[in-house]
Amino acid sequence: MTFPDLDAPVSPLRQRLIDDMNMRRFSRETQRNYLRDIGRLAAFLGRSPDTATADDLRRFQIEQQEDGVPVPTANSIVSALRFLFIHTLDRPDLARRLVRLAHRRNLPVVLSRDEVARLLNATTCLKHQAALSVAYGAGLRVAEVSMLKVADVDSERMLLRVERGKGGRCRNAMLSEDLLTLLREWWKVGRQQGVMHRDGWLFPGQHAMKPISTRQLYRIVVEAARAAEITKRVGPHTLRHSFATHLLEDGTDIRIIQVLLGHAKLNNTALYAKVATRTVRTVTSPLDKLGLFRPTEISPGG
């Protein structure tokens, strides 16, 4: 038994799994990832994953390590399988057999403010500039940018409603005056082009009835960075990293940044303190306060 894409023929187990994910408002991308990762176990077993035993799960994870599956990928598979066994199959005993692996997190790549400005100005059309400006100006994930609808822009409360966030969580993101001005400009142009509708996507894809894809947004960022002569390895998430880091450098409370980013754990937000160089530069070292190595003034008669 395999777990193909969301539009494939539905088995009873697969349908129950999709229903459980829909009930928790998981995004389409998250659902596709969970189905793919559960399909890995099904392929390993050669049968339906609801027949798995504790020993099957142990052998499956050992084989993954031996095959060199990266730690983040292995942990994503664990998340998908835990959801299956806890929520769909009501087998928490099996979920406890799945082992998450510790891994060293690399520091995120962050652009300077000048680099962000160059990147946004290097986009080739207003839609692309507006989409990347939302990623940076509101700190949204690439999937969240893709799934925004026109109705999610709340100009009265100056908020962006993110109803398809990670893990199906909803939140309000900030909407600045400049970003609202840009989105209104894009609305006018999009209406003239016939691709924007009041009940439609904020950033339509090649077909107006579908949103822009995350893959296309990735290509847009890479091409804009290349045009702006930015040598750092840049992706859509780089703009979200830069948003959080720049807020922290400006003195915004880290718990506020946590809420704006939609982080469930403060530890995830605290990572940005390690790359907030402006914050580091504003701190006076206790060594400097000793005054031991300051050049002494020489008196005129000395």
Which of 141, 164, 241, 246 is labelled catalytic?
A: 141
Which of 28, 91, 118, 237 is labelled catalytic?
A: 237
Which of 34, 97, 128, 272 is labelled catalytic?
A: 272
**In angstroms, rounded to a whole number, what is the distance separating the alpha carbons of residues 217 and 141?**
11
Q: Where do we find the tokens 């020489």?
A: 298
Which of 164, 166, 241, 246 is labelled catalytic?
A: 166
To the nearest 10°, the Cα dihedral for 185, 187, 193, 195? Answer: 150
| Phi, psi dihedral angles at 172 (to 5 degrees) | -105, 130
Name 156's Cβ contacts closer than 8 Å, sequence gap at least 6.
none
**Would you call 105 a catalytic residue per the annotation?**
no
**Would you call 272 a catalytic residue per the annotation?**
yes
**Would you call 103 a catalytic residue per the annotation?**
no
Q: Where do we find the tokens 């949204």?
A: 140
What is the full DSSP assignment across 174-213? E--HHHHHHHHHHHHHHHHHT---TTSBSSB-SSTTSBPP
Per-residue b/e over 258-283, b at no fewer than 16 CB within 10 Å? bebbbbeeeeebebbeebbeeeeeee
What is the full DSSP assignment across 118-173? HHHHT-SSHHHHHHHHHHHHS---HHHHHT-BGGGEETTTTEEEE-S-GGG--EEE
Residue 2, SS3?
coil
**Would you call 166 a catalytic residue per the annotation?**
yes
Name 18's Cβ contacts closer than 8 Å, sequence gap at least 6.
6, 10, 31, 35
Other Cβ atoms less than 10 A from the Cβ of 58: the count is: 13
Q: Name the token pair of 278.
A: 């402006």
Which of 97, 128, 240, 241 is labelled catalytic?
A: 240
State the catalytic residues: 141, 166, 237, 240, 263, 272
